[in-house]
Amino acid sequence: MKILTRYILKEFFPPFLLALLCFTSFLLLNEIFRLTKLFVRKGISPRYLIELLIYVLPATLVITIPMATLVGILLSLGRLSTDNEITAMKAHGVGFHQILLPLLLVSSLLSVFDLFFMDYALPRGNVAYAALKRDISTRNSAFVLEEGVVMKELERKGRVWMYESTDPQTGRLQNVKVWDSIWSGQPRFIHATEATVGFKNKQAWLTLYDGVTYEPISGSDNGFRTTAFEEDQIALDFTETLERREFESQSPRSMEISRLKAHITNLKRRLSPTESESYLIDKLRYAQVEYHKKFSIPFACFVFGLIGVPLGLVVKRSGKMVGFGIGLGLILVYYLLLQIGQDTGRNGVFPPGFAMWLPNIVIGAVGLGFTARTILEGRLETRRSGGQKLPPIFDKEETPQVGESD
């Protein structure tokens, strides 16, 4: 490896790693705050919190690696330009390609690594994340419950319920209300002071304490019968909630590339010409968008390298913060285009493949333009300096002789 290549890579990796750490931490903050608040309120072991954060880390890294690549290139080349090292390299005959190629090579390797993360680590992390949340919900039913929210898992059977708060000392649900037989025309209302939720033989039970049951008297329009009780039990069903999480773990976003490709083929096989507006079209578009996203996001490392090198060289004396600001602006534009591509691809406005590759096409075209301009400007400067004549003062024929009298 040439000395210049080693020197450029040595300048690139420290800001790259620092940017990767900052971007990853920033994106994880929202998840950390949300899970911490949930776990503290539900009284669940912090060990599960750390495990969930580990499982969500691959989904964050596949996004932050391209971002850190761009910022690392801009900051490293910005430092070289600010200290006039780029000018010194040009003065010693170092061409633009000698700076571009090592960084493009590193960007390509990071694209391959990000693709591996996208295909291997992210699906397994998503499945493990959903499985752990499902296990926590089974062992600790409070993880599924929400204060002041009507629970509708038994709505089909004519039963809904809610509770107002949780006792911080006992963990019992406070002020519980149950509406039963709501579709029968003879609804029954139950109000209990406290309640607990537990699992027995894979069945969830709501145990009510110190409550009153209100039920209409048959044959009477306004008459109600009240029955006080010390303890009562109602069978609950969290199947819908758990099945939803199971479905999320098996969604196209959580599939490997090979499995997702087979899933798309199966959807195309099931789709008939007469069902052009069926739900299968939406599922197919969603799967195709996720398939192309698994390639387009990792390829962003190479695209950011292509546009980052010429931009990093023009920072000059403006400072590192200017390069950092340019990087943030490009990242914002890229992921805005990515979001637009996702929406238009799922809605059928654009083909899913074109929609998901649109950010790379736009940023890549701009990068090629900047690269071509930088190369052409270098050639023009070389031609101008090579064809320039010496000033007349240095012309031998017109140089006056020292000591000659008029």
Full DSSP string of 241-252: HHHHHHHHHTSG
- On the CB side of 326, CA atoms within 13 Å amount to 24
Rounded CA-CA distance 369/367 in Å is 5
- Angle at which helix 46-82 crosses helix 3-42, to 10 degrees, equals 150
Q: Specify whether 369 is located in the same domain as 278.
A: yes
Query: Is residue 276 domain-resident?
Result: yes
Q: Specify whether 22 is located in the same domain as 131.
A: yes
CB within 8 Å of 59: residues ≥ 6 apart? 122, 125, 126
Query: Is residue 110 domain-resident?
Result: yes
Mean pLDDT of 235-239: 61
Structure token pair of residue 136: 């926590």
Q: Between residues 237 and 245, which one has the greater pLDDT?
A: 237
- Asked if residues 146 and 137 have their Cβ atoms less than 8 Å apart, the reply is no
- Asked if residues 355 and 288 have their Cβ atoms less than 8 Å apart, the reply is no
Q: Between residues 126 and 19, which one has the greater pLDDT?
A: 19
- Asked if residues 327 and 74 have their Cβ atoms less than 8 Å apart, the reply is yes
Query: Is residue 242 domain-resident?
Result: no
Structure token pair of residue 151: 């629970």
Inter-CA distances, 351 with 252, 358, 402, Å: 17, 11, 80
Return the bridge partners of 226, or none: 214
The pLDDT assigned to 326 comes to 82
Answer yes or no: is pLDDT of 403 > 50: no
Query: Is residue 282 domain-resident?
Result: yes
pLDDT band at 144 (very low <50, low <70, confident <90, very high): low
Mean pLDDT of 134-146: 62
What length is written for the chain? 406
Inter-CA distances, 28 with 20, 52, 55, 125, Å: 12, 11, 12, 15
Query: Is residue 406 domain-resident?
Result: no
pLDDT band at 112 (very low <50, low <70, confident <90, very high): very high
Q: Specify whether 59 is located in the same domain as 161.
A: no
- For β-strands 203-216 and 173-180, DSSP reports them as unpaired
Q: Specify whether 287 is located in the same domain as 349.
A: yes
- Tell me the average pLDDT of the chain: 79
Q: Specify whether 9 is located in the same domain as 134.
A: yes
Query: Is residue 202 domain-resident?
Result: yes
The pLDDT assigned to 395 comes to 46
Instruction: Work out how many domains the chain is built from and give that number.
Output: 2
CB < 8 Å & 24+ apart, contacts of 214-217: 214/188, 214/189, 214/190, 215/186, 215/188, 215/189, 216/186, 216/187, 216/188
Q: List pLDDT tens digits, range 13-25.
A: 999 999 999 999 9
Mean pLDDT of 338-359: 93
Place of tokens 């739900």: 279
pLDDT band at 391 (very low <50, low <70, confident <90, very high): very low
- Asked if residues 130 and 245 have their Cβ atoms less than 8 Å apart, the reply is yes
Domain extent for 113: 3-138+257-387
Q: Between residues 379 and 120, which one has the greater pLDDT?
A: 120
Q: Tell me which of 237, 271, 287 is where a domain ends.
A: 237
The pLDDT assigned to 129 comes to 83
DSSP SS3 for 230: strand
Q: List pLDDT tens digits, range 56-93.
A: 999 999 999 999 999 999 988 888 877 778 778 877 77
Query: Is residue 225 domain-resident?
Result: yes
Q: Between residues 179 and 64, which one has the greater pLDDT?
A: 64
Inter-CA distances, 31 with 60, 65, 109, 288, Å: 10, 18, 29, 27
Q: Specify whether 130 is located in the same domain as 261.
A: yes
Answer yes or no: is pLDDT of 219 > 90: no
Mean pLDDT of 263-280: 74
Q: Return the biggest CA–CA distance within the chain.
A: 140
The pLDDT assigned to 244 comes to 45
Q: Specify whether 171 is located in the same domain as 123.
A: no
The pLDDT assigned to 18 comes to 94
Query: Is residue 70 domain-resident?
Result: yes
pLDDT band at 394 (very low <50, low <70, confident <90, very high): very low
The pLDDT assigned to 1 comes to 56
Instruction: Read off the pTM.
Output: 0.70
Answer yes or no: is pLDDT of 380 > 70: no
Answer yes or no: is pLDDT of 273 > 70: no
Q: Specify whether 114 is located in the same domain as 69.
A: yes
Q: Specify whether 261 is located in the same domain as 231.
A: no
Q: Specify whether 23 is located in the same domain as 92.
A: yes
Answer yes or no: is pLDDT of 135 > 80: no
Q: Specify whether 21 is located in the same domain as 117.
A: yes
Return the bridge partners of 166, or none: 173
Answer yes or no: is pLDDT of 327 > 70: yes
Q: Specify whether 267 is located in the same domain as 227.
A: no
